[in-house]
Amino acid sequence: MSEKSAQAFRTISEVADTVGVPQHVLRFWETKFSAIKPLKRGGNRRYYRPEDVNLLLAINRLLYTDGYTIKGVQKLLKEQGAKILATGDTAATQPVSTPTAPQTFVASQPLARDLDANMLASLRSVRDRLASALSEARAV
Q: How many CB atoms lie within 10 A of CB 124?
A: 11
Letter for the amino acid at 95?
A: P
Q: Please check the confidence at residue 95 and state whether its pLDDT lies above 50.
A: no
Q: Is 131 exposed, middle or buried (0-12, 13-18, 19+ CB in 10 A)?
A: exposed
Q: Please check the confidence at residue 26 and state whether its pLDDT lies above 90.
A: yes
Task: Calculate mean pLDDT across residues 18-43.
Answer: 92
pLDDT band at 108 (very low <50, low <70, confident <90, very high): very low
Q: Please check the confidence at residue 14 and state whether its pLDDT lies above 70.
A: yes
The pLDDT assigned to 87 comes to 67
Classify 17 as helix, strand or coil. Answer: helix
**What pTM, to 2 d.p., does this model score?**
0.60
Task: Calculate mean pLDDT across residues 76-102.
Answer: 60
